[in-house]
Structure 1
Amino acid sequence: MRTPLLLLALASISVQAETVSSITLNTDTALQLVAAGLKQCAKDGYHVTVAVVDRSGVLKALARDELAGPHTIESARKKAFTSASMGMVTADMANNIADKPALSGLRDMHSDILILGGGMPIRIDDQLVAGIGVGGAPGGHLDQACAEAAIKEVLK
C-alpha cells in the first residue's frame, strides 16, 4: 500500500537541469602561449618544446624548436597535463613530494603525470582553464621561467 504513495510522491517532484558556466582557452590563445614560450626559451639560449592543454588535459597546441630533442615533446605535454589536472605548478608538486615522501604515489596516478619543473596551470578570473608545459631547458626551473614568461606576455 505504501508503494503507490511513494510513486505518487516521486512523480510530483520536478527535476530542473542545471548548467555550469566555465571559461575556456581558445586555440588562438593556446598558439600564442606556445609561440611566446618558444621565443623566451630561444632568447635564453634553450631549445625546447612547449605544449598547452585544456583544463581536461587534452592537447590544444604544441611546437618543438628545430633543435629540441625528441623526448621534449612528451615532457612538455605531460608537464602541461599534470599542471592542468592537479591545478598546481609541477615544481611545487616535486618539492612537496621531496618533503613528504608519502605523496610519491601521485607520480603513479595516471600515465601522463610528470612531476618535474616546467608545468604551470593557467587561470583566468581564478578559474583553471588550461596548463602549459615546457621541456628541454637544462633544468625544470628554466623550463618554468619560459612558461611564466609566456603566460605573462599573452595573458597580461
Structure 2
Amino acid sequence: MRRLFLSASLALAPVPGLAQGVVTERNISAGLAAEAAAAAVEACAGRGFRVSAAVVDRSGVLKALLRADGAGPHTVYSAQAKAYTAVSMRANTSQILETVRTNPGAARLVDIQGFLIVGGGMPIRVGDEVVGAIGVGGSPGGHLDDQCAEAGIARIRERLG
C-alpha cells in the first residue's frame, strides 16, 4: 500500500523545470492557409505543372488542400506528407533530404510514419516561430515543387506577423 501511495504521489507531482498552466501558440489561419495553397497551385500551373498543395498548422494538422484540375491522385498525399514533414522537422524537406543523404545518423528519418523526404515541403514562419508548413507535390522535380511552395509563402508573407 505504501508503494502505491508513493507511486501515485510521484505521478501527480509537478515536474521541475516545466511550465504549468495554459500554453499560447500561434498557428496559421484557415484563410491564409487556403490563400497560400492556391498561390502555390497557380505558380505551378503557370509553368505547366498540375500539382496539389497542402498547408498544415504548427501541429501538422491539415488546414487547406487544393488539387489542380488534372493533378494525379498521388499528389494529394505527397503534398500533405511534405508539409507534415517540414513542420515536424521545422526545416525544408530539400534540406532534410540532403541531411539524410550525407549523414548516416539521419538515414532512418525516411522510416518515420507520415514523413516524405523529397523536395517541396517548407515551414511557414513568423520570425523564428513555425506556425505551419506548405507542401507541394506533382511537378517533375522536388526543386520545382520548392519554387511553387515558395510562391505560396510569398503570397501571404506580409500578413503573417
* TM-score, structure 2 as length reference: 0.83
Q: What residue in structure 1 maps to residue 31 of structure 2? A: 28
Q: What residue in structure 2 maps to residue 133 of structure 1? A: 135
SS of corresponding position for 2:27: coil
Q: What residue in structure 2 maps to residue 4 of structure 1? A: none
Q: Note the alpha carbon deviations across 1:15-58, whole angstroms, 9 max, x for none.
A: x9433222111100100001100111111111000000111111
TM-superposed deviation, 1:101: 2.8
Letter in 1 for 2:79: A
Q: What residue in structure 2 maps to residue 54 of structure 1? A: 57
Letter in 1 for 2:151: A
Q: What residue in structure 1 maps to residue 114 of structure 2? A: 112
Q: Note the alpha carbon deviations across 1:101-141, whole angstroms, 9 max, x for none.
A: 331111112x2100000000111132111010000000000
Q: Which structure has the greater CA radius of gyration? A: 1
- Structure 1 range deviating more: 49-58 or 98-107: 98-107
For structure 1, the residue ranges without an aligned partner over 5 or more in a row are 1-9, 11-15
How far apart are the structure 2 equivalents of 1:137 and 1:93? 19
Count of paired positions = 142
- Structure 1 range deviating more: 72-81 or 118-127: 118-127
Q: What residue in structure 1 maps to residue 71 of structure 2? A: 68
For structure 2, the residue ranges without an aligned partner over 5 or more in a row are 1-12, 14-18
